[in-house]
Structure 1
């Protein structure tokens, strides 16, 4: 057997081994009803992987090619493509929100309902990335809508310079930019998701459902820990 054939055989075997390991993991998670601490650790690792993949795909522009191949042509203009290549904060927010929306649907359809199985040819991680691909178009359209509202707010503020609310508008925009910048420093993907969703005006009940959290108080706890850490870091910067 020549080298290319040996590499292909090894790749196929690795894929089989990975899917076998994934099946064992899914069976363990099923014992807990796809809930609890073990599932949370699994979801956190899956979220980290999904965010990493989507950040890279947005940076290279490959994601739009992949989406077009699946029938989701978002027709990004040059400015949008350049923004994603340049702005790591935007990539982080879009990736985080996409993964946050994909996780509960993946849990229900792939795990609870058995949509994923080892004979389907894809690992659990690959199957999850596929779920994220289908979530991204709606998230990107929301991003476009938010950007347009920002532009209108800033334009209106500039056009009404005598209005005392101008400073409030500017402060709101700058405050949002500061929080978006801080998202990249939040290591816990669940906390990062909770902050991003709060920034997008989701209620804590909605955030609880998206995260699969046990209660609204659990969401409040995530946000409280983030605010405490943010205030401490702000104090250290100005101390």
Structure 2
């Protein structure tokens, strides 16, 4: 040290210079502590103690559960019920994290710098279906390695300090970045596809075209522009161009043809409710 912090004096200063200038009076130690202060301190300690005990109790229950599941090789009805509850919990938590945007801070702490754009954050906050899709895919991909490492290999332990659900959410945070990157790449492909589709539908009208063809093209273009969801917009445009749902699934990087069917079905229902004529 170059000197004491308070006075910047040398460490070789006489010891008497570092002592209090005068004896401390008894009255300095007899300032009363109010009962309200004591109650607040006691309440804080009690709350912390309850939280610690609740964590211990939860981990004890988790250890008993894992031991019971291990007797059947982490298979069977009990394990299926365990997975069902874990999936429900994981999806709920991931949806909340995506809605608030805090999930990007959690994955950044683990070395995954996704650097979401403001528009991506707005999309996650406003699009419940997107949050559901990303959460379901993340949980589905996290489950197999979680089962193998945490349960079969016994990497989760009571002594580790985390509950089994907390441990699982940690596993999900290592999977989410890849799922979000897939969504980001898919969105970019859809954006480029829409640009191509718009170029097709917005080509200059052939002066020899009939009036009906012109009206039809303008009508279809108006319908496409009215669709706010880009994935649905692309699916409708491709359907009108004669692509099969299997081909659309590949082009849009959708999870299944049922997802494409669902998008088209919801769009048709909305059109019917608006009193519009169905297209395609």
TM-score by length of 1: 0.70
Does 2:57 correspond to 1:17?
yes
From 66, 70, 73, give the equivalent of 2:110: 70
Deviation at 1:175, TM superposition (A): 8.4
CA RMSD of aligned residues (A): 3.1
2:159 aligns with 119
From 98, 101, 124, give the equivalent of 1:84: 124
* Unpaired stretches in structure 1, ≥5 consecutive residues: 179-197, 203-222
Q: Distance in 1 between matches of 2:139 and 2:235?
A: 21
Q: Distance in 1 between matches of 2:96 and 2:235?
A: 22
* Paired residues of 1:176 and 1:199 also in contact (CA < 8 A): no
2:189 aligns with 149
| Structure 2 residue matching 1:2: 3-state secondary structure | helix
From 251, 255, 260, give the equivalent of 1:200: 255
1:105 aligns with 145
| Structure 2 residue matching 1:148: 3-state secondary structure | helix
1:139 aligns with 179
**Greater Rg over alpha carbons, structure:** 2
Cα distance change on mapping 1:157 and 1:9 into 2, 3 Å: same
Deviation at 1:176, TM superposition (A): 8.5
1:174 aligns with 232
Q: Distance in 2 between matches of 1:108 and 1:120?
A: 17
Deviation at 1:199, TM superposition (A): 3.6
Q: Distance in 1 between matches of 2:132 and 2:256?
A: 18
From 33, 41, 58, give the equivalent of 2:73: 33
Cα distance change on mapping 1:67 and 1:149 into 2, 3 Å: same
* Paired residues of 2:190 and 2:231 also in contact (CA < 8 A): yes
Q: Distance in 2 between matches of 1:153 and 1:44?
A: 37
Cα distance change on mapping 1:77 and 1:29 into 2, 3 Å: same
Q: Distance in 1 between matches of 2:234 and 2:74?
A: 35
| Larger helix percent | 1
List per-residue Cα deviations over 1:153-186 (Å, max 9, x = no partner): 11111112289xx99xx7x9438889xxxxxxxx
* Unpaired stretches in structure 2, ≥5 consecutive residues: 1-40, 204-216, 225-229, 237-252, 274-280
Would you say how many aligned residue pairs link Structure 1 and Structure 2? Answer: 187
Q: Distance in 2 between matches of 1:73 and 1:94?
A: 18
Moved over 4 A (4+): 175-178
* More RCO (CA 8 Å, sep 6+): 1
Deviation at 1:91, TM superposition (A): 0.8
Q: Distance in 2 between matches of 1:45 and 1:60?
A: 23
1:61 aligns with 101
Deviation at 1:67, TM superposition (A): 1.5
1:181 aligns with none
